Amino acid sequence: MKQIIYIVLIILITSGCASKKVVNSSFSVVNVNSDTSFSQNALIYALPKTVLKINVELNKIQSFSGPYYQYAKKYLGIDDGVIFEDNVSYDISNIDIDSYSEPDTNCFFLVKSQNNDVANLLNLSQSGLILSINKNVDIKNEKQTTNFYNDNDESDFFFINQSVKRNLQEINQKAYKIVKTDTSSVKIPVTKRYTVVKSTELKAEEAANFIIKIRKRKFKLISGMYEKFPDGEAVGRMIKELDKLEKDYLSLFIGKTIETKKEYTFSYIPDESLMTNQSILFYFSSDNGILINKNYINRTVANKQISGYPIIIDVENLNLTNKLKRESYEPDFQTNGFFYRIPDYGNVRIINGNKVIASKKILIAQFGKLCSLPSNLIKNNYSIEFYKDYGSIKSVNQN
C-alpha cells in the first residue's frame, strides 16, 4: 500500500477550536493542538478565518495660482474665485469594506487513517482550506495583489501657453551723440531701438485683451453677424474650441484646480475572543493625506509639519449564533465526523473622531460556531461541499 504522508509545520497553535477526538475504525480527526504526532496516512486540513480588507480612495486636490492673478480685477474685473497661492488638500472620497480568508492557525485538523482512503476523501484549496468531501471542486487560485504607495508624488503644474504674442518687445530710447565741428562740439539727439522682455503686467494685459477678443468672436458666431456663415455643425465645433481656448487663458488669471485619485488597502483580523474589536487603521489629515508610517506623525520634515489624526476600525461581534454555543446544543464530538463552521455576523465601522464614515454588516468565520458532521454522512458515501471563505456547509448530496 502506497504511503501518503502530509506533513505541515504549524506555528502559533492556541486554544479556540474543538480539541476532542473523533474516532471510528478507519480514521480519526483531531485538532493539532491536542495531537501533533504526524504519522503515515495522515492529512491536515484547515478552517478559514476572515480577514477584513479595507479599500480607501483618497482624493487629492491641487490648486495652482495663475501667473497673472494679481491683475484679474484690473483687466477682467474678477474678484471672486481667484486662487492667490498654491495649495494641496486631501479628503477621503470612498471606503469599501470587503473580506478574504486565510487558514486559521487555531483550527488545523489532523486526519489519521489506517489506510490511504482518507486522501481520496478530501479536496483542499491551495492554502489547505477544506473545500469538499467525496467531491471534486475546482476553484480559481486567487492572486495576491501588490499595494504600491508612492509618497513622493508631489507634481508641479506649469502654465505653458501664456500669450499669443511674442515675449519680447522693441522700445525706442533717446540718446545723444557729440559731433565735433571746426570750432565747437554739438550734442545731437538720436533714437536707439532695444529688444527687451515684456513685463508681467504687459503680458497680462495682452492675455486679457485676447480673452475679450475670443468673447467677441463667440458673440458674432452665436448671433450670426458674419457675412459668410459656416454650417450648423461647424459653428458648434468652433464655439466649443473657442470655449476651451477662453478657459485656458482665463486660468492664467483665476488659477487652476487639479483632482487626482489614489487608492490604499488595509487589512485587519478580528479577534473572536473579544465582543468588540477596535484598532487604529491609519492616520489622516487634510494637509498630508493618509500616513501609513505613524513615526512621521507630529514631526517636521523638509520644513513641513506632518500631522494627522487616527481613523479607527471598530468590529462588533453580533453573536447571532449564541444559542448554538449553549451547552445543551453542543455537538457530540465523540462521533465520527469532520469539523466545520457556522459563521456569524459582525458589524464593521470606520470611525473618524465621533463620526462613522463607513459601515457594513459582514460574515466573519471566526465569530461563529464550530460543529461536527454526523458520522453517517461519511459512512453512507455522501458528498459535502464547503464555502472556502467561511468553512460552512454549501451542499450535501448522496452519491
Query: Which residue in 107, 122, 66, 385 sits closest to 272, CA to CA?
Result: 107
Q: How many CB atoms lie within 10 A of CB 67?
A: 18
Residue range 73-81: average pLDDT?
Answer: 90
> 127 versus 152: which is more confidently predicted?
127
Specify the DSSP element, H or E, that contains 311.
strand 309-317
pLDDT score, position 259: 92
232-254 and 200-223 helices, crossing angle to 10°: 160
Confidence of residue 12 (pLDDT cuts 50, 70, 90): very low
Residue 208 confidence (pLDDT) above 70: yes
Residue 141 domain-assigned? no
Confidence of residue 90 (pLDDT cuts 50, 70, 90): very high
**What is the rounded distance in angstroms from the CA atom of residue 382 to the CA atom of residue 135?**
9
Q: For residues 43 and 111, is the Cβ–Cβ distance under 8 A?
A: yes
Residue 82 confidence (pLDDT) above 70: yes
Residue 238 domain-assigned? yes
Confidence of residue 51 (pLDDT cuts 50, 70, 90): very high
Work out how many domains the chain is built from and give that number: 1
User: What's the sign of the alpha-carbon dihedral 232, 238, 241, 246?
Assistant: negative
Residue 220 domain-assigned? yes
> 206 versus 375: which is more confidently predicted?
206
pLDDT score, position 267: 94
**The C-alpha cell that represents 260 in the structure block:** 487626482
> 49 versus 163: which is more confidently predicted?
49
Residue 302, class by beta-carbon neighbours within 10 Å (0-12 exposed, 13-18 middle, 19+ buried)?
exposed
pLDDT score, position 67: 92
pLDDT (tens digit, 9 = 90+) per residue, 139-180?
Answer: 776 666 666 666 555 566 677 777 777 887 777 777 777 777
Residue 89 domain-assigned? no
pLDDT (tens digit, 9 = 90+) per residue, 224-233?
Answer: 777 776 676 8
pLDDT score, position 300: 54
Pick left, alpha or beta for residue 173 (phi over 0 → left; psi -120 to 50 → alpha; otherwise beta). beta
Q: How many CB atoms lie within 10 A of CB 54?
A: 22
**The C-alpha cell that represents 327 in the structure block:** 451547552
pLDDT (tens digit, 9 = 90+) per residue, 261-315?
Answer: 999 999 999 999 888 899 999 999 888 888 876 666 655 545 566 677 889 999 9
- In 81-139, DSSP assigns E strands to 87-113, 122-124, 130-133
Residue 27 confidence (pLDDT) above 80: no
pLDDT score, position 2: 37
pLDDT score, position 296: 61
Query: Which residue in 331, 283, 338, 233 sits closest to 56, CA to CA?
Result: 283
User: What's the sign of the alpha-carbon dihedral 263, 265, 266, 268?
Assistant: positive
pTM: 0.76
Query: Which residue in 14, 13, 18 sits closest to 325, CA to CA?
Result: 18
pLDDT score, position 44: 87
From residue 378, give the alpha-carbon distance in Å to each of 190, 357, 382.
Answer: 114, 48, 6
Residue 7 confidence (pLDDT) above 50: no
Q: For residues 337 and 378, is the Cβ–Cβ distance under 8 A?
A: yes
Q: For residues 113 and 29, is the Cβ–Cβ distance under 8 A?
A: no
> 147 versus 236: which is more confidently predicted?
236
Q: For residues 338 and 109, is the Cβ–Cβ distance under 8 A?
A: yes
> 385 versus 141: which is more confidently predicted?
385
Specify the DSSP element, H or E, that contains 357.
strand 355-372
Q: For residues 132 and 386, is the Cβ–Cβ distance under 8 A?
A: yes
pLDDT (tens digit, 9 = 90+) per residue, 357-366?
Answer: 999 999 999 9
Residue range 178-203: average pLDDT?
Answer: 80
To 10 degrees, the CA torsion angle through 61, 62, 68, 72?
A: 10
Residue range 189-216: average pLDDT?
Answer: 87
| Residue 197 domain boundaries | 168-258
DSSP-derived secondary structure for 47-83 = EEEEEEEEEEEEEEEEEE--TTGGGHHHHH---TT--
> 369 versus 10: which is more confidently predicted?
369
pLDDT score, position 134: 83
Residue 85 domain-assigned? no
Query: Which residue in 83, 78, 43 sits closest to 62, CA to CA?
Result: 83
pLDDT score, position 170: 77
Provide the H-helix boundaries in the chain.
Answer: 72-76, 117-121, 200-223, 232-254, 375-379
